Amino acid sequence: MAQPFTILRKEKRYSGKIIDLRIDAIQYPSGTETIREVIEHPGGAVILCLFENDDILLVKQYRHPFECDVIELPAGKLDTGEEPGLCAERELREETGYGARKWEQLTSLYATPGFCNEILHIFLARDLYLHESGPAREEGESTMTLMRVPLTEALTMIDRGEIVDGKTIAGILLGIRKREIL
């Protein structure tokens, strides 16, 4: 589909540690001018760790925007120039202390396309092993806890509203579909 408007100008208004804010002035074919606020984000990797017995790893961590703990798949932000697969391997190690011998990218998705350009890359990690040194969490992740649950229980947790994170729901549903064909 063709772009339904003309971009008149783009202006970066804020540069932060995790996001940047850009304001785009646009004009519709009618001549009406308006703005679009765009959050620029480098993207991230999400990891569905699938054990041989169909258990998966979840992390429970405090998320300040919601002021509560959120249950999620392990995930993290891409470093500048970092490939999504390498980010997945790094984040799995840092957050959980695990590594994986088998990796498969399940999908890439737009997290919030109405105002943000973040792309999340969801990976399936299998043939898991523990690193001797354990997790290497950042200070903000120090209260993070690991949860190992059966894949089918994770689906029930979604149904009960215990898992509400979009990337986690997508990863679990993709994992269930993938598990059916493995």
Q: Say which CATH number the domain at 71 has.
A: 3.90.79.10
Same domain, 51 and 65: yes
Q: What are phi and psi of 77, to 5 degrees?
A: -80, 140
115 and 146 share one domain = yes
User: How much is the mean pLDDT over the chain?
Assistant: 93
pLDDT for position 181: 61
Q: Which tens digits make up the pLDDT trace of 80-103?
A: 999 999 999 999 999 999 999 999
- Is residue 179 very low, low, confident or very high in pLDDT (cuts 50, 70, 90)? confident
Residues 117 and 28 in one domain: no
Task: Decide if 174 is inside a domain.
Answer: yes
Do residues 28 and 49 share a domain?
Answer: no
139 carries an active-site annotation: yes
pLDDT at 144: 84
Three-state secondary-structure class, residue 120: strand
| Residue pointed to by tokens 């765009």 | 38
> Across residues 146-173, what is the average pLDDT?
97
Q: What is the chain's alpha carbon radius of gyration, rounded to the nearest angstrom?
A: 19
Tokens found for residue 70? 């959120």
Q: Are 23 and 61 in a shared domain?
A: no
Do 99 and 26 fall into the same domain? no
Tokens standing for residue 162 = 């215990």
- At residue 120, the pLDDT reads 98
pLDDT at 130 over 90: yes
Domain enclosing residue 53, as ranges: 44-181
The residue annotated as part of the active site, out of 52, 132, 139, 180, is 139
Same domain, 30 and 88: no
Please report whether residue 1 resides in a domain. no
Mean pLDDT of 134-158: 85
Residue 92 and residue 4: Cα distance in Å, rounded?
Answer: 40
Same domain, 11 and 100: no
For strands 44-49 and 75-77, give the pairing: antiparallel
* The pLDDT of residue 99: 96
Using pLDDT thresholds of 50, 70 and 90, give the confidence band for residue 142: low
Distance CA 19, CA 11 (A): 14
**Domain-embedded: residue 57:** yes
Considering the domain architecture, whether residues 134 and 173 belong to the same structural domain is answered as yes
Question: 42: closest CA among 78, 16, 75, 86?
Answer: 78
